[in-house]
Chain A
Amino acid sequence: GIQVEQSPPDLILQEGANSTLRCNFSDSVNNLQWFHQNPWGQLINLFYIPSGTKQNGRLSATTVATERYSLLYISSSQTTDSGVYFCAMYSGGGADGLTFGKGTHLIIQP
């Protein structure tokens, strides 16, 4: 099945700092997504980004499918950015649902 690896596993930053989260995947799938899970467990879709670059406010993501990695950039971090960031993907027909990475636990300190 699909293998998804995320780095770093943990990241502690001061408010205002920038960060880059990485997701490596094993297969040449093209359905990569980024999620944010807040401290209360709510999972929010950030980006559906099978390839290319997208931006939404202070967040942007880039996927290079041919090299099997994706990057999530967070600029000018705020304490509300704290939580766990997951990348996930599914193969073709979705028979195995979404396969998630282990996540990057981000803590933004005031």
Chain B
Amino acid sequence: KAGVTQTPRYLIKTRGQQVTLSCSPISGHRSVSWYQQTPGQGLQFLFEYFSETQRNKGNFPGRFSGRQFSNSRSEMNVSTLELGDSALYLCASSPRQGAFNEQFFGPGTRLTVL
């Protein structure tokens, strides 16, 4: 089985722009979660999508949003980028909603905001 894939792997944007990141889960997995990793705050949960609906959400501003498609692929969007949004964004897939003990992580997208 192919693992979780994320595109692009690297991205450079400037303040004020918006960005969309993509995540394709493991075949058969229907839940996709997103995490932000920064040196200062560490790994933080952004949100979880299951059956095209956001099921759980971390403590992030509304500039961070996402969606999930019928094939379980997910996108994450960050609008009005700030310098502090520079981070490694990881997505993880699992077979069921809330099955965080069965998550497999993708390689991440490294976003740099200039």
Asked whether, in the complex, the Cβ of A98 is within 8 Å of the Cβ of B35, the reply is yes
Asked whether, in the complex, the Cβ of A86 is within 8 Å of the Cβ of B43, the reply is yes
Asked whether, in the complex, the Cβ of A41 is within 8 Å of the Cβ of B103, the reply is no
Asked whether, in the complex, the Cβ of A31 is within 8 Å of the Cβ of B42, the reply is no
Interface residues on B, range: 20 to 34
B35: chain A residues within 8 A (beta carbon): 97-98
Can you list the 4 inter-chain pairs with the closest CB atoms, starting with the nearest?
A97-B45, A94-B98, A100-B43, A43-B105
Chain A contact residues, CB within 8 Å of chain B: 31, 33, 40-45, 48, 86, 88, 90, 93-103
Interface flag for B66 (CB, 8 Å) = no
Asked whether, in the complex, the Cβ of A94 is within 8 Å of the Cβ of B43, the reply is no
Supposing A86-B43, A103-B42 touch, asked if A96 and B56 sit within 8 A by C-beta, the answer is yes
B26: chain A residues within 8 A (beta carbon): none
B107: chain A residues within 8 A (beta carbon): 40-42
Interface flag for B88 (CB, 8 Å) = yes
**Can you list 24 A-B pairs with a CB-CB distance of less than 8 A?**
A31-B100, A41-B37, A41-B88, A41-B90, A41-B110, A42-B107, A42-B108, A43-B105, A48-B102, A90-B98, A90-B101, A93-B98, A94-B56, A94-B100, A96-B56, A97-B33, A97-B35, A97-B46, A97-B47, A97-B48, A97-B56, A97-B100, A98-B33, A103-B42
Interface flag for B104 (CB, 8 Å) = yes
Give the contacts of B28-55 with A (CB-CB under 8 A): 33, 35, 37, 42-48
> In the complex, how many angstroms separate the beta carbon of A46 from the nearest chain B beta carbon?
12
